[in-house]
Amino acid sequence: MPDTTLKENYIVYKIEGLNNCKLQNVVKLNFDDSIFEQVEISSNLKEIKLYFDSEEDTNNIIEKANTVLFEIFKRLILNKEIDISIPEYNVDVVRIGNEDITQLQINERIAIRDEFRMQRSFDAKVFLEEVLSGNNLVTDANKLLYRKLLSIMRNPEE
């Protein structure tokens, strides 16, 4: 009997440092890319999922996903509606077919603090279309500058 289960290919990134923004009506948004077909950002901006249907080498897919995510991440950081504090992203899940091929990385952190938060709410589709619209921000001429700026934002000691 042939396997009739739906096989979704996706990579999930965990996001930290994007605060005080909530998306309503979360949807998968079609994404015009050579490998990735759709993108979905969780309502609390803590997870980005890239969907693909490709027979390419897994390493190529992950490398391309990192490039695509870096572009999306910069656009989110530059959005004036999102408060930023030490932004960071990491691969959480890599799923091809029905197989989880994630390599596990363990981090430990203890945070003790009090805080007050105000949260803004937006329609997910409108927000994502605005964030993803336009040409690539990174060019060969300014790629190093963006990497350095992100590095500075991620390191509170400098």
- Whether the Cβ atoms of residue 94 and residue 50 lie closer than 8 Å to each other: no
Q: Provide the pLDDT for residue 143.
A: 81
Q: With b meaning 16 or more CB within 10 Å and e meaning fewer, what string describes 83-99? A: eeeebebebbebbbeee
Say if residue 53's pLDDT is above 70.
yes
Q: DSSP class of residue 59?
A: H
Q: What is the share, in percent, of the chain residues with pLDDT greater than 90?
A: 14
Over residues 15-40, the pLDDT tens digits come to 999 888 899 999 888 877 778 888 99
Vertex 125 angle, CA 28 and 26, to 5°: 55
d(CA 21, CA 41): 12
Over residues 88-107, the pLDDT tens digits come to 888 888 888 767 777 655 55
DSSP codes, 111-135: ---------EEEEHHHHHHHHH-SS
Phi, psi for residue 145 in degrees, rounded to 5: -60, -45
Domain boundaries, the chain: 9-154
d(CA 63, CA 5): 28
The distance in angstroms from the start CA to the end CA of the chain is 60
* Residue where the block lists tokens 């400098």: 158
pLDDT category, 3, cuts 50, 70, 90?
very low
Element (H, E) at 62: helix 58-78
